[in-house]
Amino acid sequence: MQLYYDILPSPIGDLLILAHEFAIREIVFQTKEQDHMVNSEWIHSSELIEQTKNELKAYFSGQLKEFSVNVNPHGTPFQKQIWKNVITIPHGHVCSYQDVANNTNNPSACRAVGRANSQNPIPIIIPCHRVIGKSGKLTGYAGGLDRKQHLLNLEGINIEDYPEQYKLF
């Protein structure tokens, strides 16, 4: 299956976007020390990649609150169940890992939810940054807590001012 790619400079660093013909497969945070991880067999850009870049730019400029691009993350059935739940968290809202576990009928799976979130291959679009600790505090984020805080601030969420705001469901 053919992969398409492009790199989007963003306020939180360069984003490597990977897609198949009909769905986004990955968004990878690139670090300054790291060369862009581009495979010579990938094709530069596609209509879907351009749509994704445009939607991400609109999101970062505050003009987009809900993504419409198709996503097809690679993961286990449990991970996909968690990501399917996380993608329903509305822009400008947060919930806890426990809330996600409860919403997937796995109330004892709080840590597994955290692990699935940390392996989310399509951050921002599958908004794992909107999942925080039950205490209302920021917890781990594969892209780093500074990026998580930036994304939450972009959506008008200040965790320190509103610690009870994590209750979404």
Give the pLDDT confidence of 117-134 residue by residue, as tens digits: 999 999 999 999 999 988
Q: Which residues are catalytic?
A: 128
Query: Could you tell me the CATH number of the domain that includes residue 106?
Result: 1.10.10.10
Q: Domain for residue 71, yes or no?
A: no
pLDDT of 165 over the 60 cut? no
Q: Which residue, among 65, 48, 27, 28, has the nearest Cα to 154 in the 3D structure?
A: 65
Assess whether 113 and 54 both reside in one domain.
no
Q: Which residue, among 84, 83, 91, has the nearest Cα to 67 in the 3D structure?
A: 91
Assess whether 81 and 158 both reside in one domain.
yes
What's the structural domain count of the chain? Answer: 2
| Domain span holding position 88 | 77-166
Give the residue-averaged pLDDT of 6-27.
Answer: 96
Q: Domain for residue 70, yes or no?
A: no
CB 23 within 8 Å of CB 62: no
**Tokens (6 digits) for 40:** 């010579």
Q: Domain for residue 9, yes or no?
A: yes
